[in-house]
């Protein structure tokens, strides 16, 4: 049976930063396709990351309105981190819809210009949303510790050396989490269930330390 996810930006107002969020699992499920939601438990089969940096930065280009997948990955693989920075970039302004999703599932946030702060379980998330074309911004991007990609394969296939440029911007020991590509890059690949990607190409890899 086909399933639709309804996205409607409700222009929600910030209710403030609080640790005491109660996630509404029914609402949360409404933002996932059933098979994707069912597959989330597979993240428990992946060993947590060793990332020796107090506040890592995760870069997610072509994020669209997807806030929930990176949060589930971080919660499962970096749950010991007290704080994390998310840098999201998309050609469309999706921050309003991301705020709506958080509000609807019971996550309260504070907001300032193009950024929001909230708690996801015990981790404080600082999310900065940048409207922009990743291909034109790629050279001026700051370095990041985690690269996250989902459903962006068609767009970035058009851009030569995209993966190489992303790896350049990743700190040594940084992590690539992608549902496609990066097979030819010099990464220490962790075995993960391929079914976590709708292309069946899920990859999680660590950039080797420079010698
Ligand atoms: C298929 S959607 C995937 C959205 C999200 N990653 C997900 O899994 O739901 C692709 C997204 O990439 C964005 N996009 C396309 N070209 C882009 C570019 N050059 N730079 C940044 N974002 C781009 C689109 O606006 C859209 O939100």
Q: Does some domain include residue 205?
A: no
Q: Does some domain include residue 153?
A: yes
What is the strand order of the sheet 83-90 is part of? 109-112, 115-120, 123-131, 83-90, 57-61, 144-149, 170-178, 203-207, 187-190
- Interface confidence, given as ipTM, is 0.99
Please tell me the predicted confidence (pLDDT) of residue 208.
Answer: 82
Q: How far is the CA of 98 from the centre of ligand 1 (A)?
A: 14
CA angle 187, 60, 111 (to 5 degrees): 145
Q: Does some domain include residue 103?
A: yes
Question: What's the mean per-residue pLDDT of the chain?
Answer: 95
Q: Does some domain include residue 145?
A: yes
Please tell me the predicted confidence (pLDDT) of residue 210.
Answer: 57
Q: Does some domain include residue 129?
A: yes
Contact between 134 and 59 (Cβ < 8 Å)? no
DSSP secondary-structure letter at 42?
A: G
Residue 211 has pLDDT above 70, yes or no: no
Confidence of residue 50 (pLDDT cuts 50, 70, 90): confident
Mean pLDDT, residues 44-70: 96
Residue 1 has pLDDT above 70, yes or no: no
Mean pLDDT, residues 76-81: 92
Q: Does some domain include residue 52?
A: yes
Q: How far is the CA of 91 from the centre of ligand 1 (A)?
A: 7
Q: Does some domain include residue 176?
A: no
pLDDT in tens, 141-195: 999 999 999 999 999 998 989 999 999 999 999 999 999 999 999 999 999 999 9
Place of tokens 């993240």: 43
Number of structural domains, the chain?
A: 1
Cα gap 210→200, rounded to integer Å: 30
Give the mutation target among 155, 159, 181 for probing the ligand 1 site: most ligand atoms within 8 A of CB: 155
Q: Does some domain include residue 169?
A: no
Q: Could you tell me the residue range of the domain that residue 38 belongs to?
A: 25-157
């Amino acid at each position: 049976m086909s399933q639709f996810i309804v996205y409607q930006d409700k222009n929600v107002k910030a209710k403030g930063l609080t640790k005491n969020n109660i996630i509404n699992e029914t609402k949360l499920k409404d933002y996932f396709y059933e098979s994707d939601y069912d597959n989330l438990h597979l993240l428990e089969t992946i060993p947590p990351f060793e990332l020796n940096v107090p506040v890592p930065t995760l870069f997610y280009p072509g994020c669209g309105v997807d806030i929930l997948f990176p949060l589930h990955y971080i919660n499962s693989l970096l749950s010991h981190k007290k704080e994390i920075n998310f840098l999201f970039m998309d050609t469309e302004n999706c921050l309003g819809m991301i705020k709506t999703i958080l509000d609807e599932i019971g996550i309260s946030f504070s907001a300032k210009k193009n950024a929001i702060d909230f708690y996801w379980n015990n981790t404080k998330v600082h999310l900065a949303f940048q409207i922009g074309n990743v291909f034109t911004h790629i050279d001026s991007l700051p370095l990041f510790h985690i690269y996250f990609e989902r459903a962006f394969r068609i767009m970035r296939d058009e851009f030569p050396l995209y993966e190489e440029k992303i790896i350049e911007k990743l700190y040594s020991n940084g992590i690539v989490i992608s549902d496609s590509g990066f097979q030819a890059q010099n990464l220490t690949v962790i075995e993960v269930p391929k079914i976590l990607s709708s292309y069946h190409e899920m990859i999680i890899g660590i950039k080797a330390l420079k010698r």
